[in-house]
Chains A and B, each alone.
Chain A
Amino acid sequence: MAEGQKADGVASIAMATDEDNQVVNPWEVSAKDGGKIDYDKLIEKFGCQRLDQSLVNRVERLTSRPAHVFLRRGVFFAHRDLNEILDVYERGQKFYLYTGRGPSSEALHLGHLVPFMFTKYLQDAFKVPLVIQLTDDEKCMWKNLSVEESRRLARENAKDIIACGFDISRTFIFSDFDYVGGAFYQNMVRVAKCVTFNKVVGIFGFTHEDNIGKISFPPVQAVPSFPSSFPHLFAGNDNLRCLIPCAIDQDPYFRMTRDVAPRIGYQKPALIESSFFPALQGETGKMSASDPNSAIYVTDTPKVIKNKVNRYAFSGGQDSIENHRKYGANLEVDIPVKYLGFFLEDDEELEHIKKEYGAGRLLTGEVKKRLIEVLSEIVERHQKARASVTDEMVDAFMAVRPLPHMFS
């Protein structure tokens, strides 16, 4: 998944730069005038659907278990064709999941884990297989890394991904440098034939100065949505539907894919999209790997987490205790409460905190304390799991092997 290239002022509907100066594309996310991202406008602009409560209830019913925290709290808030996937599932036919990561750095933060945590839940709840793409080729090109370095990062990131708890009997992880070829490449060419240079300029903002590697990259991220790209997994199952959990800034790739799919006789992939995980310092954009204090990293110790939350987490509380007791906290901009919205499982406790904090009866320090507890637990659990991931386990997840029980 690409990030980092500035769009050189190429104005186009598909680039989601609207008059209000909100920019959302795979490389840049920023809100108007340093404010909040307007998700309603985004949904309208991109043309996807809101994920409403009735769909969440339907998911609960079909999977016979409570919906994931991210669904309940509206973190995953938009979709394309999710109802079709649920129809297919209800009829007893299955689907598969596809997600991925651009391995640009060794340090992963909690925002990076969000789509993976949600994908793990989808895998367990629906009992379906998953392919995870590591776009090491993309990072090699965009971040100007050497081939060797990007492959190394891909393997390191794979360990953190595995630590999220994916089921090896249902999961195939692959790096582009290792896997592109054969049926996968055949599909890439099929897709590439259907997209003109003008189109990718419009969608991704490429220019005549960009190297040809970048310009021809989009099909690589598109074709894992087609089951025929994985003959060792889905041979003969050409009609298998695909569901892609991702952050909403990846939408352009899959808009392109959905446009091409029917022209080459394939099913369109469905999407389920999340909002951005806010940076510690506030809602103005997404977390940045370059500023260590903007995020909680999976390698942070409890002490570091405590320090980061106490010092950098943007508070919506008032400037003095008297004012706070009088006016209450501004829940709209308060980061600790937002983070708790992501990670505190207990709906009742969250409601209680919001109520008390909003009324001024609970202080910022107390909310932060609870957040530190929750985050430390998650990070510790991740670190333990990460410690048991060996190179052999990475090899096993990445081995091109059949998965005979992937639908059981």
Chain B
Amino acid sequence: MGYTKTQLLAHLKELQIDFATYEHPVVLTVEAQAKYVGHLRGSLSKNLLLKDKKHRYYVISALAGTNVDLKVMSQRLGLGKGGLRMAPEEALQEILQVPLGCVTPLALINESARAVSLLLDKAFKAQECCFFHPLSNDTTISLSASNLDKFLMSIGRNPSYIDLEAETVVGKDNPPDLAAFVPVDVPQPSEQTIKAAVNVREQKHAPLEKKLTNVQDNNQSRGSQKAMEKPCRTADLLAEATDVNKFIKELIEKTSLAVLSEMSKDSKAEGREPLESAVLDRVNKRISSDLENLAMILKNAAYTQGLQAGIRSPSPRR
């Protein structure tokens, strides 16, 4: 479920970001937007959602007046000539979850846009504030570059500004200067570590990681963003299931509830005072760290069994 305009604006307010809001009829182009806000304090932005041949997405956000040459950008990103195209309409909905004509860096607040690379025009910094759509075409908000940065950092992004108009020639002696902006696929860390691992594979994790890389390879060509989410979800589920702290909290909660309800049933039947939950709280405090230690022992022992099963030969040393 994508963020709504209201949710986004509430998030900005929470971060104590100042912005001005202007409502107007739905606009699909910068020219149309200019009709309504062009006279106000602030500079218009133009925002492009682009796609490369490997189905990776980029949002280029620039001042309306900045010249953005897709051929040059493509080379600077290391995608060769003509590697960048405008993304199809469906991508707007699927990846940024915004309607047509509404591309905006603010859409990166959505989970679905996690792998999208953001390139910001350094000319933004010289402006007092700039106009962006807050996930909806019938509104424009004006934000300063530093407030935009605040927002981006709050969603875990590192804002970086580039000279979009620089006429860098990419060649043998000049490597693509924006190569760092090409998105790294999300489950990549596990791929890299598999390649870098020296001898041992854990049986518990190996089949799972094979599944991750297979799913990713199969769906890469379809460019479907849904498939990219699945591997992360399985990995997250596994992480949750092995979280000792969470496990013990749940265990204690369930036990306490059961004890409380049984004891109150019991005391009602025999006309005694019911057990106070404060007593149970004290018990919980006492035993939770002991239980956590026991659970950690179990986790470590189970992992060891899995690892042993996966080792092809006995311990190589000695």
Task: List A residues at the B interface (Cβ < 8 Å).
Answer: 91-92, 124, 162, 165-169, 178, 231-233, 235-236, 381, 385, 388, 390, 392-393, 395-397, 399-405, 408
B29 within 8 A of A: no
User: Once the chains are docked, how many angstroms separate the CA of A282 from the CA of B24?
Assistant: 77
Point out the residues of chain B lying under 8 angstroms from A402, CB to CB. Answer: 190, 193-194, 196-197, 205
Q: Which residue of B lies closest to A91 (CB)?
A: B153
B290 within 8 A of A: yes
* Nearest chain B CB to A283 CB, angstrom units: 29
Point out the residues of chain B lying under 8 angstroms from A233, CB to CB. Answer: 193
Cβ-defined partner of A404 (8 Å) among B189, B307, B317:
B189
Given known pairs A91-B156, A168-B300, A232-B196, the reply for A399 and B307 (CB within 8 Å) is yes
* Nearest chain A CB to B58 CB, angstrom units: 21
Point out the residues of chain B lying under 8 angstroms from A405, CB to CB. Answer: 235, 238-239, 242
User: Once the chains are docked, how many angstroms separate the CA of A233 from the CA of B196?
Assistant: 8
Point out the residues of chain B lying under 8 angstroms from A236, CB to CB. Answer: 192
Point out the residues of chain B lying under 8 angstroms from A393, CB to CB. Answer: 300-301, 304
Point out the residues of chain A lying under 8 angstroms from B196, CB to CB. Answer: 231-232, 235, 402
B315 within 8 A of A: yes
For B228-254 the 0/1 string (1 means CB < 8 A from A) is 000000011011001111000000000
B308 within 8 A of A: yes
* Nearest chain B CB to A229 CB, angstrom units: 13
Point out the residues of chain A lying under 8 angstroms from B315, CB to CB. Answer: 395
**CB interface residues, B 268-318, toward A, < 8 Å:** 290, 292-293, 296-297, 299-301, 303-304, 307-308, 311, 315, 317
B190 touching A392 by the CB < 8 A rule? no
**CB interface residues, B 191-234, toward A, < 8 Å:** 192-202, 205, 209
Of B195, B197, B205, B242, most buried by chain A (CB within 10 Å of CB) is B197
* Nearest chain B CB to A315 CB, angstrom units: 29
Cβ-defined partner of A408 (8 Å) among B235, B311, B317:
B235
B293 touching A165 by the CB < 8 A rule? yes
Point out the residues of chain A lying under 8 angstroms from B156, CB to CB. Answer: 91-92
Given known pairs A402-B197, A405-B242, the reply for A388 and B297 (CB within 8 Å) is yes
A167 touching B190 by the CB < 8 A rule? no
A168 touching B193 by the CB < 8 A rule? no
User: Once the chains are docked, how many angstroms separate the CA of A235 from the CA of B317?
Assistant: 24
B304 touching A392 by the CB < 8 A rule? yes
A400 touching B198 by the CB < 8 A rule? yes
User: Once the chains are docked, how many angstroms separate the CA of A235 from the CA of B297?
Assistant: 29
B198 touching A167 by the CB < 8 A rule? no
Write 24 A-B pairs (CB below 8 A) sorted by A numbering: A162-B300, A165-B296, A167-B296, A167-B300, A168-B303, A168-B304, A169-B299, A169-B303, A232-B197, A235-B196, A381-B290, A390-B301, A392-B304, A393-B300, A396-B304, A397-B300, A401-B200, A401-B202, A401-B307, A402-B190, A402-B193, A402-B197, A403-B193, A405-B242
A408 touching B290 by the CB < 8 A rule? no
Of B195, B297, B299, most buried by chain A (CB within 10 Å of CB) is B297
A392 touching B242 by the CB < 8 A rule? no
Point out the residues of chain A lying under 8 angstroms from B293, CB to CB. Answer: 165, 381, 385
Contact-size category for B: 35 or more
Given known pairs A235-B192, A385-B293, A408-B239, the reply for A167 and B197 (CB within 8 Å) is no
For B2-28 the 0/1 string (1 means CB < 8 A from A) is 000000000000000000000000000
Point out the residues of chain A lying under 8 angstroms from B243, CB to CB. Answer: 408
User: Once the chains are docked, how many angstroms separate the CA of A22 from the CA of B104?
Assistant: 62
Task: List B residues at the A interface (Cβ < 8 Å).
Answer: 153, 156, 158, 189-190, 192-202, 205, 209, 235-236, 238-239, 242-245, 290, 292-293, 296-297, 299-301, 303-304, 307-308, 311, 315, 317
User: Once the chains are docked, how many angstroms separate the CA of A404 from the CA of B304?
Assistant: 15
Q: Which residue of B lies closest to A177 (CB)?
A: B317
* Nearest chain A CB to B284 CB, angstrom units: 14
Give 5 closest A-B pairs by Cβ, nearest first. A408-B239, A402-B193, A92-B156, A396-B304, A235-B196
User: Once the chains are docked, how many angstroms separate the CA of A390 from the CA of B256?
Assistant: 34
Point out the residues of chain A lying under 8 angstroms from B197, CB to CB. Answer: 232, 400-402
User: Once the chains are docked, how many angstroms separate the CA of A236 from the CA of B189?
Assistant: 9
User: Once the chains are docked, how many angstroms separate the CA of A358 from the CA of B250?
Assistant: 42
User: Once the chains are docked, how many angstroms separate the CA of A169 from the CA of B13?
Assistant: 39
A396 touching B308 by the CB < 8 A rule? yes
* Nearest chain A CB to B239 CB, angstrom units: 3
Point out the residues of chain A lying under 8 angstroms from B158, CB to CB. Answer: 91
Of B195, B199, B201, B202, most buried by chain A (CB within 10 Å of CB) is B202
* Nearest chain A CB to B108 CB, angstrom units: 14
Cβ-defined partner of B199 (8 Å) among A124, A169, A400, A408:
A400
* Nearest chain B CB to A35 CB, angstrom units: 36
Point out the residues of chain B lying under 8 angstroms from A231, CB to CB. Answer: 196
* Nearest chain B CB to A156 CB, angstrom units: 15
Q: Which residue of A lies closest to B189 (CB)?
A: A404
* Nearest chain A CB to B14 CB, angstrom units: 16
A178 touching B317 by the CB < 8 A rule? yes
Given known pairs A169-B242, A232-B193, A396-B308, the reply for A404 and B235 (CB within 8 Å) is yes
* Nearest chain B CB to A1 CB, angstrom units: 23
User: Once the chains are docked, how many angstroms separate the CA of A191 from the CA of B309?
Assistant: 39
Point out the residues of chain B lying under 8 angstroms from A232, CB to CB. Answer: 193, 196-198
User: Once the chains are docked, how many angstroms separate the CA of A162 from the CA of B192?
Assistant: 27
User: Once the chains are docked, how many angstroms separate the CA of A236 from the CA of B188?
Assistant: 11
Q: Which residue of A lies closest to B187 (CB)?
A: A404
Q: Which residue of A lies closest to B243 (CB)?
A: A408
* Nearest chain B CB to A397 CB, angstrom units: 8
User: Once the chains are docked, how many angstroms separate the CA of A147 from the CA of B236?
Assistant: 43
Given known pairs A404-B189, A404-B190, A404-B205, the reply for A392 and B238 (CB within 8 Å) is no
Q: Which residue of A lies closest to B158 (CB)?
A: A91
Q: With contacts A168-B303, A236-B192 known, what are 16 further pairs, Cβ within 8 A?
A: A124-B245, A165-B297, A168-B299, A232-B193, A232-B198, A388-B297, A390-B301, A397-B300, A399-B307, A400-B198, A400-B200, A401-B200, A402-B190, A403-B193, A405-B239, A408-B239
User: Once the chains are docked, how many angstroms separate the CA of A235 from the CA of B315?
Assistant: 24
Cβ-defined partner of A167 (8 Å) among B195, B205, B235, B244:
B244
Q: Which residue of A lies closest to B212 (CB)?
A: A404
Point out the residues of chain B lying under 8 angstroms from A165, CB to CB. Answer: 292-293, 296-297
Point out the residues of chain A lying under 8 angstroms from B235, CB to CB. Answer: 404-405, 408
